Amino acid sequence: MRWWTCPVTSPATDPVTLDSPEQPAVSRKALTIGLCAVIVGIAFEAAAVATAMPVAARQLHGLGAYAWAYSLFTIGMLFSTVVGGRLSDRIGPAKPLVLGMIIFAGGLVIGGTSVSWLMLIFGRLVQGLGGGMLNTAAYVCIAQVFPPAQRPRMFTYISMAWVLPGIAGPAAAAWITHTLSWHWAFFAVLPVLGFGALMLAPTLRMLLRRGLPPSTEAQGAPAPIWAATLAALSAVAIQYAGQRLDLLAILPAAAGIVGLAVSLPRLMPPRFMRLARGLPAVVLTRMLLPGAFFGAEAFVPLMLVEQRHLALTLAGGVLTVGSVGWFAGAWVQSQRWMTLRRDRMVMLGTACVAAGVGLITVAALLPTSWIGLVAIAWIIAAFGMGVATASSTVATMSFSSDAEQGRNASSLNLGDALGSGLFVGISGSVFTALRSGGDLATTFGSAFLVMAFVGALSVFASSRIGRVPEH
């Protein structure tokens, strides 16, 4: 049987033959192309929005609430990751995958037709809800259709689908924004999403018609939806407090902190709150690392446009260069000649992110410094993300038994989304608090400095991982 044609299987069942009347044959080739196309659309949207958002924020008078465009996306993704996982376990991944595509497409339409900043950030929330469900359902679909020996190849394609749009996406978004308008940075994703849906349609019809056998393998308790809801609302409360920055902000800030204290133990591995070694340290690293990186990324184009008066195309080019660095990092960590232990690879990646964001802080505080320093710094930071993200995912799998893979992967993704939302919100709060002073060097420099500190915390967290089991 060719690798791209297979029967639908459950992770807990043996594959059946292609001719089995009980299982429909699906095209792995079409499934691969369809999933990668959908992920390319999501990744392009992320890169395009990061480039076009400064123009949209100025036109819609949203600079004062700039970070909400990013935080609400990740908060929506945080919630829908749990919902998508629960639905996929109960009814199979097909319906959540379809629902995720519909919700994400609806968010793109809302964003593209926005006439106010409030409407635009609501569209971003809807996009996050769709993206989180899409991502979770896609991974469950891969687990049920591809046998373990072929999943690494599939995840290589998935990684490429995430990274490659970041190379051409910012420049393309800048061209679209200048030639048409920033609205088309959202609309341009719809044809890619439609192509992916078209390629997925035959497989999804089979999955919907026949269903999937439920797994009989014992699993840990799934992450409760109420805890994900509380965590998402707590993140909103904390960011709202950061945007107010007055005495009335104390109440929502305290409520958000208490909410996270209650919800995180239910969403994360045991002993996570005690900063234990092993898997809890891996998840903590993945909570801090994306927060530092994306909290800085949200303001890199804005700094280059507002402080350095750089053309939007050139500002987006910095993000493009960063995507090359990310791809290089992901490639390096997979090579046989890379003999570092897996935990030390994670530490190397976190150190690169902290150093890169630190260099950007210097460039922001010294506006007359060489502008190429920003590009070099972002390559270093993105390289670190490529190394650490892939290595921490491998470490999570190695620390997990077969029965714990789904639960621990959910914790990793939730930590990733929660950290991104919270720390992007924190960097936005710093930016909002200092922006009225008019000193751009202090404003941007302070926001980047806080993210560099978060990056340093991720280095400490990664130092507590310890030796990763080898299978």
Per-residue pLDDT tens over the stretch 270-281: 888 888 899 999
Say if 335 falls within a structural domain. Answer: yes
Confidence at residue 5, expressed as pLDDT on a 0 to 100 scale: 40
Per-residue pLDDT, 150: 65
Return the CATH number at 162: 1.20.1250.20
Q: Answer yes or no: do 229 and 296 share one domain.
A: no
Whether pLDDT at 206 is above 70: yes
Give domain status of residue 159, yes or no: yes
SS3 221: coil
Residue 138 maps to a domain = yes
The answer on pLDDT for 149 being more than 60 is: no
Task: Report the range out of 107-116, 412-421, 424-433 with the highest average pLDDT.
Answer: 107-116
pLDDT in tens, 311-336: 877 787 787 788 788 878 887 887 77
2 located within any domain: no
Task: Please say which residue of 193, 212, 231 terminates a domain.
Answer: 212
Residue 320 lies in a domain: yes
Q: Which of 255-269, 332-346, 371-385 has the lowest mean pLDDT?
A: 332-346
Using an 8 Å Cβ cutoff, are 412 and 268 in contact? no
Q: How far apart are the first and last CA of the chain?
A: 27
CA-wise closest residue to 200 among 3, 34, 50, 446:
34
Mean pLDDT of the 154-163 span: 74
Domain match, 80 and 52 both: yes
In the predicted structure, residue 17 carries a pLDDT above the cut 70: no
Task: Check residue 58 and give its pLDDT.
Answer: 82
**Claim to verify: residue 36 and residue 121 sit in the same structural domain:** yes
Compute the distance between CA of residue 345 and CA of residue 467 in angstroms, rounded to an integer. Answer: 11
Task: Read off the amino acid at residue 275.
Answer: L
Q: For all residues of the chain together, what is the average pLDDT?
A: 80
Which whole number is the average pLDDT over 417-436? 82
For position 383, what pLDDT does the model report? 93
Residues 287 and 303 in one domain: yes
Same domain as 439, residue 316: yes
**Are 295 and 393 members of one domain?**
yes
CA distance 429 to 444: 11
How many domains are there within the chain?
3
Same-domain status, 104 and 38: yes
The enclosing H or E element of 444 equals helix 440-463
Are the CB atoms for 288 and 450 separated by under 8 Å?
no
In Å, how far from its chain's centre is CA 442? Answer: 28
pLDDT-based confidence at 6, cuts 50/70/90? very low
How far apart are alpha carbons 377 and 395 in whole angstroms?
A: 27
2 class by beta-carbon count within 10 Å (0-12 exposed, 13-18 middle, 19+ buried): exposed
183, part of any domain: yes
Using pLDDT thresholds of 50, 70 and 90, give the confidence band for residue 156: low
Q: Is 16 within the bounds of a domain? A: no
d(CA 17, CA 431): 59
Domain boundary, last residue among 267, 287, 304: 267
Task: Give the per-residue pLDDT at 20.
Answer: 45
Range of the domain at 263: 222-267
Q: Provide the pLDDT for residue 259.
A: 93
3-state DSSP call for residue 7? Answer: strand
Predicted confidence at residue 65, as pLDDT, reads 74
**Are residues 301 and 411 located together in one domain of the fold?**
yes
Residues 199 and 226 occupy one common structural domain: no
Highest mean pLDDT out of 232-236, 344-348, 415-419: 344-348
Element (H, E) at 183: none
Strand (E) or helix (H) holding 27: strand 25-27
pLDDT at 167 over 90: no
- CB-CB contact of 176 with 185 (8 Å): yes
Are 181 and 258 in a shared domain? no
Nearest alpha-carbon partner for 129 in 148, 104, 151, 149: 104
Lowest-pLDDT range, 6-20, 34-48, 79-93?
Answer: 6-20
Average pLDDT for 374-389: 91
pLDDT at 99 over 70: yes
Considering the domain architecture, whether residues 126 and 231 belong to the same structural domain is answered as: no
Q: Report the alpha-carbon distance of residue 229 to residue 420 in Å, rounded.
A: 16
User: What distance in Å separates the CA atoms of residue 362 and residue 75, rounded to the nearest whole number?
Assistant: 30
Considering the domain boundaries, does residue 292 fall inside one? yes
Tell me: pLDDT of 371 over 70: yes
DSSP string for 358-402: HHHHHHHH-TTS-THHHHHHHHHHHHHHHHHHHHHHHHHHHHS-G
Residue 402 pLDDT class (50, 70, 90 cuts): low
Verify that 229 and 156 share a domain, yes or no: no
Which carries the bigger pLDDT value, residue 46 or residue 242? Answer: 46
